[in-house]
Amino acid sequence: MIGQNVLVTGGTGSFGVALIGALLARPDGPAQIVSVSRNAAKRYELEQRYPDPRLIVVPGDVRIDSDLTAAVNGRMIDIIIHAAAEKHVPTGEHHREYVWSTNVDGAAHVIALARRCGAQRVVALSTDKACDPINAYGESKREAERLFLAADDDPYDRCRYTIVRYGNVCGSSGSVMPLFVRQRAAGVLTVTDRRMSRYFMSLSDDSDIGVYQEPRGVRVWSAVGFVAWALAHMNGGEIFVPRLPSATILDLAESMAQGATVIETGIRPGEKLHEDLISASEAERCYDTGAEVYAILSADRQPRPGWVRVPHGWRYHSGQYPQPIRYEVHA
C-alpha cells in the first residue's frame, strides 16, 4: 500500500473513521486517503480527529456521479473502499427510491469512477440482509453485489472487485448497542422479538467495545480487520464472509439492562427473525478458505489451492448456535 492512493466512500461513518485511523497508523500506509462524505459536521470532526496531511476530506454524495469525479479531482486512485450506504431497514420500507439511489446507483457510480481513475482494486461493503433479502435495504444491497460481480467479469475492466458481507458491528452508528445504552438510562430496553438472533463483530481491532469469544476459540473478526484481510487476499469476483459468533437480542439486552426492564414490542416490517450470511443456493458455490473466512465464487471461478467446498446442504444463519454475549466499555 506504500505510495498508493485510497478513496473511502462514507468516510465519516463509524466504519470509515475507524478504517482511516487504521490506515494512517500503518507503517506501510497509503500516500493519500481521500474521504468522501455528504455530512458536513462529520467531515469537520474527521479532520479534527486526524490532522494528517495525507488525509483529504471532501464533500460528496455517491448518488451523484459528478460528486465523485469532483472528489477525485484528477488524482489517480489505486484502491477504493466503498462503505457509503443507506442502512436503516425502516427507512428502506418507507423511502425505497432513496435507498435504491444510494445503494444501487451509488454502486454503479463507484464502478464508473474506478474505471475513470485507474483503480486497481475495489472492496465493497455489503450486509447479511443482502442474503435472501426480504426488505428494500437488503434488495438494494443484493443488487449492488450483482453490479460489482458483473464489473469484475467485464474483460475490458482491469480493476478487480470484491465484496465483503458481514453482520452487525458492535457500537457502530445504527447498531442496537448504543440504543440499549440510551434506553437503559430511561429504565426500559425494547426488543422486537425474544427469539431474534444476530451476528456480531467489533468495529476495529483496538475497539473499546468488548465482544465475547466463542468457546471453541473461533476468531472474532473486526470490520476493519476483515476488510484489510479481503484487500490483501482478493483475486476479484468473490463474496468474502467471515465466520462470526451469533447471539440472541434478548440475551444481549439482558446483559446490558443492569436492572432496567426488558420488554417485547413486536417484529418490524422487513425485519428477519434470524440473519443469513450464506444462502442455500450460494452454499453450492461456497468454500472454506481455512482462515475463518468463507468465499462465495461465481460459477466460472476456480477456488484457490487449499480451499475446501462446504458440505452439500450446509447453511449459515444466526439462529443455529447463538451463544452468550457480553457488552462492556473498557475504561
* 75 part of a folded domain: yes
**207, pLDDT greater than 80:** no
pLDDT at 228 (0 to 100): 95
Average pLDDT over residues 101-123: 97
pLDDT at 326 (0 to 100): 61
* 298 part of a folded domain: no
Point out which residues pair with 276 in neighbouring strands: 317
pLDDT tens for 288-307 read: 999 999 999 988 899 999 99
C-alpha cell at 229: 484481510
**233, pLDDT greater than 80:** yes
Active site residues: 129
Helix 176-186 to helix 249-257 angle (10° resolution) is 40
pLDDT at 28 (0 to 100): 92
**171, pLDDT greater than 70:** no
Do 3 and 31 form a contact (C-beta atoms < 8 A)?
yes
Q: Which domain holds residue 88?
A: 5-166
Taking only Cα atoms into account, the Rg of the chain, rounded to an integer number of angstroms, comes to 19
Average pLDDT over residues 258-276: 89
Do 181 and 209 form a contact (C-beta atoms < 8 A)?
no
Average pLDDT over residues 106-119: 97
E-strand stretches of 223-324: 238-242, 246-248, 261-264, 276-278, 286-288, 293-297, 308-309, 316-317
**223, pLDDT greater than 90:** yes
Distances (CA, A) of 305 to 153, 160, 226: 21, 20, 21
Q: What is the DSSP string of 126-137?
A: EEGGGSS--SHH
pLDDT at 330 (0 to 100): 42
pLDDT at 209 (0 to 100): 46
Distances (CA, A) of 69 to 102, 234, 241, 253: 16, 26, 31, 44
Report the range out of 53-67, 249-263, 269-283 with the highest average pLDDT. Answer: 53-67
Q: What is the mean pLDDT of the chain?
A: 90
Number of domains in the chain: 1
Give the Cα separation of 319 and 250 in Å (integer). Answer: 13
Buried b (16+ CB within 10 A) or exposed e, 275-307: bbbbbeebbebbbbbeeebbbbbeeebebeeeb
* 120 part of a folded domain: yes
Nearest alpha carbon to residue 287 among 268, 272, 306, 269: 306
184 phi and psi angles, rounded to 5 deg: -60, -35
pLDDT at 132 (0 to 100): 92
pTM, 2 dp: 0.91
Average pLDDT over residues 43-71: 97
Do 144 and 105 form a contact (C-beta atoms < 8 A)?
no
* 224 part of a folded domain: no
Please name the helix (run of DSSP H) or strand (run of DSSP E) that holds residue 252, with its range, or none. Answer: helix 249-257
* % of the chain exceeding 90 in pLDDT: 68
pLDDT class of 170 with cuts at 50, 70, 90: confident
Q: What is the CATH number of the domain that holds 88?
A: 3.40.50.720
Q: Is 1 exposed, middle or buried (0-12, 13-18, 19+ CB in 10 A)?
A: middle
* 24 part of a folded domain: yes
* 189 part of a folded domain: no
